[in-house]
Amino acid sequence: MDNPESDRIDHIRKMRQFGHNYYMERSEVYRKFVELEAVTFKEGALSKREKELIAIGISIVNDCESCLEWHIREAIRAGADEAQVVEAIGVGLEMGVGPTTVTARFAAAVLEHLVRPER
Class of residue 76 by CB neighbours under 10 A (exposed 0-12, middle 13-18, buried 19+): middle
Q: What pLDDT band is residue 93 in, cutting at 50, 70 and 90?
A: very high
Q: Average pLDDT, stretch 4-19? A: 93
Dist CA 11 CA 14 (whole Å): 5
Least confident of 18-27, 54-63, 65-74, 99-108: 99-108
Q: SS3 of 47, please? A: coil
Q: Does the pLDDT at position 119 exceed 70? A: no
Per-residue pLDDT at 21: 98
Mean pLDDT over the full length of the chain: 95
Per-residue pLDDT at 118: 78
Q: What sign for the dihedral angle of Cα 13, 68, 52, 24?
A: positive
pLDDT per position as a tens digit, 31-77 = 999 999 999 999 999 999 999 999 999 999 999 999 999 999 999 99
Give the residue, 79 or 118, on which the prediction is more confident: 79
